[in-house]
Structure 1
Amino acid sequence: MNSLYIRKARIKDVKAIHGLLMDYANEGLLLPRSYSELYSQLRDYLVLAERTTEDIYGCCALTIVWDNLAEVRSLAVRRDKQGSGWGRKLVEMCLSEAITLGIYKVFVLTYQKNFFAHLGFKVVDKNVLPQKVWADCLKCPKFPECDEIAMLIEM
């Protein structure tokens, strides 16, 4: 039996989520998230947790952007758990939640094109996304020279 499972994030998970995201943010692989952002957006997050210790091994968020559009963001799985399908499962749970909410278009801004393509996302021009999407970009050290790939799935 696997000792890892996916659940909604809890307040006690914020520091672990922050640490995990910062590991990847420091490498320029995703945007950093402040504690303030994580606390205010906690309901968006799922975590990959260990059943007995509740240690956090991964996270992913589904953020509603607009009337039928959401974003999968902050996907991170600890390196020692990568390649086990947990990242895919986290994204699939976010997509399932989007459908439950009545949202049938979900996008991602990513460097992991192949990973998301295997899940059914297609590359799109960033200009097809509403301007509201770019609010986070103002905080990015790469702004305005974004090199992330915009991908969209329609379910």
Structure 2
Amino acid sequence: MEIRKAASSDIESMQQLIQQFAEIGLMLPRTVKSLCEHLQSFTVAVDNGRVIGVAGLHILWKDLAEIRSLAVEPASHGHGVGRQLVRQLVQEAEQLGIAQVLSLTYQTQFFEKLDFHVVRKESLPHKVWKDCIYCKKFYHCDEVAMVYYTRYYDRFQATKEA
């Protein structure tokens, strides 16, 4: 299996994989147009030339990025594909100097194993007022906000307080 940045040839497979989970309410759908516009933020897991996992890293603010549209084909669940995708995106966020990586999720145990911590959604105004306000679930969101604190978190907090 290979973890790499997504390419335009992956878009159809990415959209089908995401849509599979969107149809059962586990994530928001993504259009082909949206995937094209944000292609540079996506990473894929590929096995034998086939996309078996996808996830995007969306920068929300200078100290906050979000993992979006994390989907792994059901046959590959439990084989570390999602874990590798998340680790790759956390590493990418750290390379950008981002202090926190957010996930809005139903899969809390998965993210806890990767050192993400549950936080109140209200503590993330850049997410809430940039994206959440337009979501159909805004008034009845049942996803859990979880954050990973990168090695830049303490440094960023110190500059905020100074």
TM-score (norm 2): 0.87
Distance 1:75 1:142, change over 3 A: same
Aligned length: 150
- Does residue 113 (structure 1) correspond to residue 104 (structure 2)? The answer is no
What is the match of residue 64 of structure 1? 59
Q: 1:73 and 1:63 mapped to 2: Cα distance?
A: 7
Structure 1 stretches lacking a partner, 5+ long: none
What is the match of residue 127 of structure 1? 122
Identity of aligned residues (%): 43
Output one character per residue of 1:39-81: Cα deviation in whole Å (capped at 9) or x when no partner: 0110110001124xx2110101111110111001111000000
1:64 is matched by which residue type in structure 2? I
TM-score (norm 1): 0.91
- Does residue 151 (structure 1) correspond to residue 140 (structure 2)? The answer is no
Kindly indicate whether the alpha-carbon contact (under 8 Å) linking 1:17 and 1:59 is maintained by their aligned counterparts in 2: yes
Structure 2 stretches lacking a partner, 5+ long: 151-162
- Does residue 9 (structure 1) correspond to residue 6 (structure 2)? The answer is yes
What is the match of residue 94 of structure 1? 89
Distance 1:129 1:150, change over 3 A: same
What is the match of residue 77 of structure 2? 82
Distance 1:136 1:15, change over 3 A: farther
- Does residue 37 (structure 1) correspond to residue 53 (structure 2)? The answer is no
Output one character per residue of 1:87-134: Cα deviation in whole Å (capped at 9) or x when no partner: 000000000000111112111100001100110111000000024445
Instruction: Decide which moves more: 137-146 or 117-126.
Output: 137-146
Match of 1:28 among 25, 41, 46: 25
Kindly indicate whether the alpha-carbon contact (under 8 Å) linking 1:30 and 1:74 is maintained by their aligned counterparts in 2: yes
Kindly indicate whether the alpha-carbon contact (under 8 Å) linking 1:6 and 1:49 is maintained by their aligned counterparts in 2: yes
What is the match of residue 48 of structure 1? 45
Q: 2:139 and 2:14 mapped to 1: Cα distance?
A: 27
Q: Secondary structure at the match of 2:139?
A: coil
Q: 2:63 and 2:129 mapped to 1: Cα distance?
A: 17
Match of 2:68 among 60, 73, 91: 73
Kindly indicate whether the alpha-carbon contact (under 8 Å) linking 1:65 and 1:133 is maintained by their aligned counterparts in 2: no
- Does residue 103 (structure 1) correspond to residue 103 (structure 2)? The answer is no
1:98 is matched by which residue type in structure 2? A
Q: 1:33 and 1:139 mapped to 2: Cα distance?
A: 14
What is the match of residue 18 of structure 1? 15
The alignment's C-alpha RMSD in Å is 1.3
